[in-house]
Structure 1
Amino acid sequence: MRKALSIALIALGLAGMMASPLMSTVEAQAPHAVVVEIDEPIQPSTANFLERVVNQAEDDGARFVVIRLDTPGGLYDSTRDIVETILESEIPVIVYVSPSGAQAASAGTFIATAGHVTAMANGTTIGAASPVDQRGGPLPEPLGSKATNDAAAFLRSIAVERGLNADALNDTVTRAQAYSASEALNQNVIDFVAKDLEQLLSTVDGRRVDLFDGSSYVIETSEIQLRTVDKTILERFLAIISNPNVAFLLLVIGAIGLFIEFLAPGLFAPGIIGVICLVMAFVAFGNLPVNWVGVGLIAFALLLMFAELKSPGVSFFGAGGVVSFVLGSVLLFGGFTPGPLDAPSFRVNYWLIGGVTVGLAGLLIFVVRDILLAQKLEERQAKRGITTTALVGTTGVVSAQLAPSGMVFVSGEEWSAVSDTGDSIEEGAEVVVTEVDGLTLKVYKSTD
């Protein structure tokens, strides 16, 4: 009986293993469409994610892809990559500006126009794609005119390809024109308005579109299965560290970690953490409009601060380091080569820059002060014929309880001290110095 049961279980297991890929194949071949949501500024990680989704949908035999779009804009190069992915797709890509209150501003206008079908929900907007720099200000001439003409020509070419109103879309670039859903429909900027995804699928059913190879494709939505594709853990992680503020902090923490390792070789932990943070910072830079002048200024600032620690009291190095750090932080993203789209602000928050700068300056002042105090103490000890090494073996009195850290009075001076055994030593007890570690004495309680 047991033998028969074992054989039956093994057979069921093998059948399940054989059926699993078959079921996956059947599921992939079943009539389905892919739905993906873009709800962020457009940057390289966005373009890579959308390219993966479209390629995966093509490989899995999806009937079409629906992009639910809500973006304030983004980087021009990433926008062109997304447009290229949509235009060269082997299956229709439907761009749906939703939900109500969403926008396809700036870069979003280009993406929405590129769709084989473009729809908007009620209460959404499209347009306002005038060129500005990456801080939101107007572009200087003649750069402004060149950027405007390039962006306008690109958008017109997409509109002509899709049979939309090229003049109305041109105005979104040259005049910063924006349209509501109903206005966009009346101006032939979009194909139709749909209140929700269900109405979108109903309206698009039976619609014929032209693909990049010149072939026609009829969109069928009856009995279609919708499969939502989300970002992978890696893609989500890249999106998080690609935030300008996060990338800035990673750069600063990484640089400080290496800075500490150079000051105190052998600690290892600061150096390891520093390298990891710097690697993540440079990965983030690949998804941001980084200005390497800003990176150079921050690196130069740390060099000046290092020089201040090596020559404490000069002040010039420290002050120059603080100024260089602020300038580098402000110029870290964007800067001298603005893109031709009204992108969201890719810059570090000024309050964050101020807070980090104050923290670094305070730390620098604190360390320099300690170094100067140590130097003065050594000078006083030298005048009295006492060196720190000569303190080993001398006796003193605990002036503030060691638990296990505290203060002791040795050779006419107050010293920071720590109990060598880790035990608490009461105030007034006599102690013996066993080691001098910088400005801290290691002591034990005298038994005499």
Structure 2
Amino acid sequence: MRQSVFLTLVLALVSLVLLPPGLIPAGADVVLIADLDKAITPVTATYVERVIREARAVNAKAVLFRLDTPGGLMESTRHIVREFLNSEIPILVWIGPSGARAASAGVFITYASHISAMAGGTHLGAAHPVMLGGDKMEAVMKQKAENDAAAWARTIAETRRRNVVFAESAVRESTSLTDKVALDSGAIDLRADSIDSFLAMIAGETTSVAGPGRKQIALQIKSVELRTVEPKLKEKVLAFLTDPNVVYVLILLAMAGIYFEFSTPGVGVPGVVGVLSLILAAYGLSILPVNTVGLILMVVGIGLMLLDIKVASHGILTAGGIVSMAIGGLMLFEDKAFRVSFQVILLFTAMTAAFVVFAVGAAVRAFHTKVRVGEEVLSGMRGEVRTPLNPVGHVLVDGELWSAHTEDGAALDAGTAVSVIRKDGVQLIVRRLL
């Protein structure tokens, strides 16, 4: 028995000695999975950093990012790429499932991974920097941004030994590749229709990770434990507040709430909702690439529609406001990755227009309604005898107590329902209701 134990220990030591230098098995068979399925923002970058930090804490074999993004902010993308390039744990990127895309920022993220794969029916590319404007200075800035992004893409491609030509053309010419072409051209490493097949394909592969001497990691992934890292509540809330559709709605709520508060002075629900919406919208606007012209058009559109309530323009101001508000919503954010949904714009523009039409209609009806004052108001109103009319007593009409008597001098008991005929001085003349 002792000889068997001794022999086992000797064999274990020999295997460690004979292991090729620098080829170090990774930790436990744990692979963390995280989803990047929205536009890339500072919230996304913080989430990625936390996932990699947790991977180190649990000694994970690798981190797999399931990617499906329209693009995002360049600074946040740079943060994620730095995390990938300096990770001591293999970073895997899988563009999937079928129908997913890795556009714009997704190209840099895919290229920065240690091993990348695409599912069938996905595409990769179109990383051209998007900037609005057309004057000379803006054209120069656009060219500088393009050159900087192209150089960065080349650097990442050379570091990960991927297709340098595509990396640059994706930036300069917005080139996109299907999964098959991306594999054949060396833009990605594998094609895999599921995460399980992806992990099975890379079992036994080695990859160079950050660390002393760019050490080699052996991906001996066999009986792997997949753990999904969900965003924390704070990350979910911040991601919600930086959603372009949410920011658009918050802007509308802010303007409507503040307008109603000024229309009916006094700190009430509209004012509180308006101020809170404005603060929350300001956070999203501070993060997202806002087009000032689009924001101004939205404000002008709301202003024109609300002005139509005060000014009789026969709907001309409302029509102009609807057009201005819709165009402003479409132009609100510069990058295509942050466009407000057309359905959301259509819905809330229609709701705002419907409210304005209702308000204008009410104002018109009020304008044409004959104003009734004094005796005209009291005539025909119903009341109740409170003290017997014998012949004079008191009746309660519209919450007020009046001295009253009947038209024919008849006595009426308390509790009798009456109708006002007319006002005679300070008394009401009433009749019994049958």
- Contact 2:89–2:209 (CA under 8 A) maintained in structure 1: no
Match of 1:69 in 2: 67
Match of 1:394 in 2: 378
State the distance in 2 between where 1:240 and 1:369 align. 37
Match of 2:170 in 1: 172
Secondary structure at 2:380 match in 1: strand
Match of 2:348 among 333, 339, 356: 356
Q: Percent identity?
A: 34
Q: TM-score, normalised by structure 2?
A: 0.68
CA deviation string 1:29-67 (max 9, x = no partner): 855221112223333332232222122222333232111
Match of 1:210 in 2: 209
Residue correspondence of structure 1 range 65-104 to structure 2 within 5 A: 65-104=63-102
1:265 maps to a residue whose letter is P
State the distance in 2 between where 1:123 and 1:233 align. 33
Secondary structure at 2:355 match in 1: helix
Match of 1:184 in 2: 182
Deviation at 1:256, TM superposition (A): 1.0
Q: Residues 188 and 364 of structure 1: is their aligned pair in 2 closer, same or farther, counting only changes over 3 Å? A: closer
Aligned pairs, how many? Answer: 364
State the distance in 2 between where 1:116 and 1:156 align. 16
Deviation at 1:265, TM superposition (A): 2.7
Match of 1:347 in 2: 339
Q: Residues 279 and 128 of structure 1: is their aligned pair in 2 closer, same or farther, counting only changes over 3 Å? A: same
Deviation at 1:356, TM superposition (A): 3.5
Q: Residues 446 and 206 of structure 1: is their aligned pair in 2 closer, same or farther, counting only changes over 3 Å? A: farther
Is the deviation greater in 237-246 or in 87-96? 237-246
Q: Residues 237 and 447 of structure 1: is their aligned pair in 2 closer, same or farther, counting only changes over 3 Å? A: farther
Match of 1:437 in 2: none
Match of 1:295 in 2: 295
Q: Residues 349 and 126 of structure 1: is their aligned pair in 2 closer, same or farther, counting only changes over 3 Å? A: closer
Match of 1:59 among 57, 60, 67: 57
Match of 1:367 in 2: 359
Give RMSD over aligned pairs. Answer: 4.0
Deviation at 1:301, TM superposition (A): 4.8
Deviation at 1:149, TM superposition (A): 2.6
State the distance in 2 between where 1:321 and 1:184 align. 47
Deviation at 1:361, TM superposition (A): 4.0
Q: Residues 419 and 286 of structure 1: is their aligned pair in 2 closer, same or farther, counting only changes over 3 Å? A: farther
Deviation at 1:226, TM superposition (A): 2.2
Match of 1:229 in 2: 229
Match of 2:160 in 1: 162
1:92 maps to a residue whose letter is P
State the distance in 2 between where 1:240 and 1:66 align. 23
Deviation at 1:261, TM superposition (A): 1.8
Q: Which runs of 5+ in 2 are unaligned?
A: 1-26, 384-396, 401-416, 423-429
- Contact 2:127–2:174 (CA under 8 A) maintained in structure 1: yes
Match of 1:407 in 2: none
1:201 maps to a residue whose letter is L
Q: Residues 375 and 214 of structure 1: is their aligned pair in 2 closer, same or farther, counting only changes over 3 Å? A: farther
Secondary structure at 2:124 match in 1: strand
Residue correspondence of structure 1 range 117-196 to structure 2 within 5 A: 117-132=115-130, 141=139, 145-196=143-194
2:186 maps to a residue whose letter is N
Q: Residues 447 and 116 of structure 1: is their aligned pair in 2 closer, same or farther, counting only changes over 3 Å? A: farther
Match of 1:110 among 108, 111, 114: 108
- Contact 1:35–1:226 (CA under 8 A) maintained in structure 2: yes
- Contact 2:36–2:66 (CA under 8 A) maintained in structure 1: yes
Match of 2:312 in 1: 313
1:347 maps to a residue whose letter is R
CA deviation string 1:193-252 (max 9, x = no partner): 445434433425351313166531413434443211122344334444433233212221
Secondary structure at 1:430 match in 2: strand
- Contact 1:326–1:357 (CA under 8 A) maintained in structure 2: yes
State the distance in 2 between where 1:294 and 1:101 align. 31
- Contact 2:28–2:61 (CA under 8 A) maintained in structure 1: no
2:72 maps to a residue whose letter is G
- Contact 1:87–1:212 (CA under 8 A) maintained in structure 2: no
State the distance in 2 between where 1:185 and 1:393 align. 84
State the distance in 2 between where 1:294 and 1:133 align. 14
Secondary structure at 1:396 match in 2: coil
Deviation at 1:161, TM superposition (A): 1.4
Is the deviation greater in 54-63 or in 193-202? 193-202
- Contact 2:88–2:209 (CA under 8 A) maintained in structure 1: no
Deviation at 1:333, TM superposition (A): 1.7
- Contact 2:306–2:356 (CA under 8 A) maintained in structure 1: no
State the distance in 2 between where 1:93 and 1:394 align. 82
Secondary structure at 1:219 match in 2: strand
Match of 1:405 in 2: none
Match of 2:36 in 1: 38
Match of 1:47 in 2: 45
Q: Which runs of 5+ in 1 are unaligned?
A: 1-28, 403-417, 422-427, 434-444
Deviation at 1:295, TM superposition (A): 3.1
- Contact 1:94–1:115 (CA under 8 A) maintained in structure 2: yes
- Contact 1:395–1:432 (CA under 8 A) maintained in structure 2: yes
State the distance in 1 between where 2:347 and 2:192 align. 47
Deviation at 1:306, TM superposition (A): 5.8
Please say if 1:281 is aligned against 2:281.
Answer: yes
State the distance in 2 between where 1:163 and 1:42 align. 24
